[in-house]
Amino acid sequence: MSDEIIIKTEYSDVMQKSYIDYAMSVIVSRALPDVRDGLKPVQRRTLYDMHELGIRSDRPYRKCARIVGDTMGKYHPHGDSSIYEALVVMSQAFKKGLPLVDGHGNFGSIEGDGAAAMRYTEARLQKVSEQALLADLDKDIVDFVPNFDETEKEPGVLPARIPHLLINGAEGIAVGMSTSIPPHNLGETIEAMKAYMKNPKLTLEELMKIMPGPDFPTGGIVVNKDELTEIYRTGSGKIKIRGKVEVEKVKGGKEQLVITEIPYTMIGANIGKFLNDIGTLVETKKTTDIVDITNQSSKEGIRIVLELRKGADTEQLTNMLYKKTRLEDTFGVNMLAVADGRPETLGLIPIFDHVIDFQFELNTRKYKTLLNKELDKKEIQEGLIKACDVIDLIIEILRGSRDLKMAKACLMSGRTEGIHFKSEKSKKQAAKLNFTERQATAILEMRLYRLIGLEIEALMKEHDTTMKNIARYSGILSNYDEMAKVIIKELEQFQKNYGVPRKTVIENGREAVFVEKKVEEMPVVFLMDRFGYCRTVDVPTYERNKEAADSESRHVIFCKNTDRICVFSNNGKLHTVKVLDLPFGKFRDKAFPIDNYSNFDSGQEQMLCVVSMEELLASRLLFVTRQGMTKVVSGQEYDVRTRTSVATKLGEGDQVLFVALLGASMQLVLRSGDGYFLRFAAEEIPEKKKAAVGVRAMKLSDTDSLEEAYLFEKGTELCIIYKEKEVALQKLKLAGRDQKGTKIRV
């Protein structure tokens, strides 16, 4: 009989429980920082591994590959890339106000350049990491937990002596939640924490007079000061930050705008995007005042220079940059951290409460360990001092004993059996001895040089020091205020050693007001050649060059500069492009592919119909697909502002063959691949919505499909060449929709 037990359960219940377990594991064990030390597990493990490897600030740098491999093998089995990325970020001064790692080599740049491979770079701990995060780990100050395979021990939390979560901030994405905590100034944060320790009744408003808000490593300006109090009360909200723009005078009476600080959110690839956005503003003629853009940023700092025309309105331009680019951005605050083992959104005061409680816990454990060590020393010292007074008797016991066990028993409990004494008096004195086991062991291990007078004197002084330490440690442990003084003194030392001036300005900035110049509406002519290269010219220019323009262009469309050009493609999509975005100028100016200004992909799509939005809205549109479906759609259905939208619904494997504006009294001729021609009146095709597939236009065999469609006004003479034979379309038999048609014999 089998011992297996089959448990029947709902699959959905098992999945739900498993996913919740996985989500909590990601939240607590990987993605979110602990409120006590402000570190995510990968950061904590990397720093601890460097500490264990002895890669201190006063030691040589070591290869990052060694650090990453050791961390992954011992503590963090989740891949080397996450460990190296954490190591790199902890060394980048433009991301962390207080870098924890001292990197040597290429550790990336503020403009988004990645760090070199870890086999090339080297690193070691910063001094502040050793002093503020890793000190006293040998004093039973935090709990150690087994690593993933229970072969090593790692700290569950580092003994952080500073409010690191606030100082360096944090970012992380978990399952169903994320954290985003801005960095703060070390000196201000410690000052606020000290004030709160001295007076726990301080209000949030009073604390924010000391630390008014975030301090980003990139500087910048926070412009919504009045909203910060509520953000720090609830732990969530949006901080509005701007880059710093300065106006510099240059030769010739001109001025230039210089961006010397950027928003924290612009770090990385967003700097390149910002420069592209400025270029777009110039190309689209949103401004004509910017002559040139140069990025002169270096290791010394950010310097992006915009050269301006003489007499340019610098205030208007600055406001345009704030409104139209990421020079003004929002930093979404969500101060989510692991507190008491679970994720919690915390305001400023709750964070301080958790950090201060942790400081008292750390110091209680530290001073208990130190006190116990001093008590052990006191016991041994008192034993040695007492032994010095009866050293002759102890020597007599040692010489008269058969073995170590007998001598130790005599020292501890006065047992004299079996020991040979010189006199009865010595025996009686020996019977009174009552050293502790530690004292007896220390006496038996004592070297003879300790009997020198100076050594005995040093022992007495050492004992006095021990007694003072015991009194001090006991006082700290038994008195809350004394321990608070110790913590505050330690915080003041960090403040003195590592405090730096604030970089970010906090103010109530005025709303950036930028009024776009209203575009003067004018008629233009859109020209596109057979390769899809397009441009616009004014009407007089077109009329002067009409013959060349008509012969060289596949599409010539009269429209307004405020209009849109609509492009229908064979995959059933409608692409629109603003006429204002297209190049405008002289007839022989360079044209550019329409792909540059829309989502149309000339490599993947065919262009079937090009029309202005104004004309489209006043017309009806005819669609024919390769599988023989057709319909008419009102142009009003395409009144869209998106760059790409669905123009028609297609059956599986179908494509649009023909799209055209439909006029009155028009006829349609369809030709299939097998050579069948069908001519019928276009008015037979019903009007449908753009989301409809349509109706059948022509009966086709399973292997046949439509190859061509021709739309012309009734009475028009139109001839085509089909397999070297001329076919007059208007002379084909006039039939009805949804028929097989006539086969042309060749």
Rounded to the nearest 10 degrees, what angle do helices 41-53 and 64-74 cross at? 110
Q: In DSSP terms, which residues pair with 15 in a beta bridge?
A: none
- Cα separation of 392 and 345, whole Å? 70
Reported as half-sphere exposure (CB side, CA atoms, 13 A), residue 49 has a value of: 26
- Cα separation of 410 and 432, whole Å? 9
**What amino acid is encoded at 496 in this protein?**
K
Q: In DSSP terms, which residues pair with 137 in a beta bridge?
A: none
Residue the block writes with tokens 């006496």: 443
- SS3 state of residue 626: coil
- Cα separation of 668 and 600, whole Å? 28
Distances (CA, A) of 85 to 65, 89, 415, 709: 12, 6, 67, 58
Residue 120 annotated in active site: yes
The encoded tokens of residue 311 equal 């007499």
Long-range contacts for 349-353 (Cβ within 8 Å, ≥24 apart)? 349/196, 349/204, 349/207, 350/235, 351/35, 351/163, 351/165, 351/166, 352/163, 352/192, 352/193, 352/196, 352/207
Longest pairwise C-alpha distance within the chain: 150
CB 640 within 8 A of CB 673: no
The bridge status of strand 564-569 relative to strand 523-528 is unpaired
Residue the block writes with tokens 């951005």: 329
- SS3 state of residue 200: coil
Rounded to the nearest 10 degrees, what angle do helices 348-389 and 186-198 cross at? 80
- Cα separation of 707 and 741, whole Å? 14
**What amino acid is encoded at 338 in this protein?**
V
Distances (CA, A) of 416 to 412, 426, 436: 11, 10, 17
The encoded tokens of residue 360 equal 């008292």
- Cα separation of 129 and 102, whole Å? 10
**DSSP label at 288?**
S
Catalytic residue among 22, 120, 264, 498: 120
Catalytic residues: 120
